[in-house]
Amino acid sequence: MSEYIDQIETGASVGLVEKRLFTFAGDEPLVLESGRSLGPVTLAYETCGTLNADKSNAILVCHALTGDSHVAGFYAEDDPKPGWWDIMVGPGKPIDTDKFFVICSNVIGGCMGSTGPQSPDPAAGKPYGASFPVVTIGDMVRCQRRLVESLGIGTLLAVVGGSVGGMQVLEWSVRYPHMVRAAVPLATTTKHSAQAIAFNEVARQAIMADPKWNRGDYYETGRPEHGLAVARMVGHITYLSDESMRHKFDRRLQDRVELSFDFEADFQVESYLRYQGNKFVERFDANSFLYLTKAADYFNLENQYGDGSLVAAFSRAQCRYLVVSFTSDWLYPTYQSKTMVKALKKNGLDVSFCEIEAPWGHDAFLLPNTRLSDLLSGFLNKVCARCGIGGCS
């Protein structure tokens, strides 16, 4: 997630939240899209707000590649950092917890409480490691559906998410059209470009080239920290923009007045990337990074549901859409969102689209932006009012 979150004043908070665990597929394993089975399966999730009497005000928020279930609020009174989207989720915020019941779960394959490569393999008595089955965006959404239904919710007012979270939003809208009233995919795509796949492959190779990776079996011998740090550095470059990097760093030197003529971090941008890589190693699992990037690369909505046609894929959808892109996002540029919108409109669906002027690159959906806040709150209130849910205006 964005480094800027550390510096943001997020306003009113939902307060203290608790991570919960939902476990299923104990007796009957989940058959994944790869054909392999997985069970039992645990999802870590958090909720905030209050579910209304007819359970019609639930919003599912889907996290991005390296996010988790901690979308808003704090774990303790002295917690120094709120959830990753605290700027958007909370009382009086665009996803208003005075009106909506918000659910966010960590995806399978992750490492923040949900079943993933570092989870114990019941058959082997040790972490799965690289024997963990490859999972897809579709598998993630199928698990989320089980969680949502376990809460007694049959229909979601909205599914919202950015980046890889936006892929999950799109998957929800075509896989379970009867369960979704509105979909808000932000800064996302219906399939990775060759360039996006290429960056992910370089990141994966950085991990697998680290001798400590040990073919994924490193939980007792030591993690591939260097490889994961480099992978994060590669990924982080794609989240920013040329303008944001020029504004933040340009060619300024780090703690020196002249070049060192060695391979230390001469430039601020070098020091920054090393810091981001090292910080990431403290909280994330290398194997999970491999699995989640592969899931993103495999995502292809038009092939999965439309036999190569995006229009045919979206013919399954029934909900309203708000699609948002950002001018400086070169990872998932606006032309990809426009292609999505065109296919949606050819199906006669209710679609709103906005390209937001923002200099900060792909990470822009995580940062304060009045335009995005107004769009999201207005859209959700309109959906809420059309569905006859009280408390919306």
Residues serving a catalytic function are: 163, 329, 362
- For residue 363, say whether it is annotated as part of any ligand binding site: yes
The C-alpha atoms of residue 184 and residue 380 are separated, in whole angstroms, by 9
Q: Length of the chain in residues, anyone? A: 393
What are the backbone angles phi and psi of residue 128, rounded to the nearest 5°? -55, -45
Query: Coil, strand or helix: which one is 186?
Result: strand
Longest dimension (CA), the chain: 68
Task: Kindly list the distances between the CA atom of residue 249 and the CA atoms of 7, 148, 241, 317, 369, in Å, as whole numbers in the listed order.
Answer: 17, 43, 12, 44, 22
What spatial distance separates the first Cα and last Cα of the chain, rounded to whole Å? 32
* Secondary element (H or E) of residue 294: helix 286-298
Q: Is 98 annotated as a binding residue?
A: no
Q: Work out the angle at residue 295's Cα, subtended by the Cα atoms of residues 111 and 21, and round it to the nearest 5 degrees.
A: 35
Is beta strand 37-38 parallel, antiparallel or unpaired with respect to 30-31? Answer: antiparallel
Q: How many CB atoms lie under 10 A from the CB of residue 30? A: 20
Binding residue numbers: 232, 363
Binding residue numbers for substrate: 232, 363
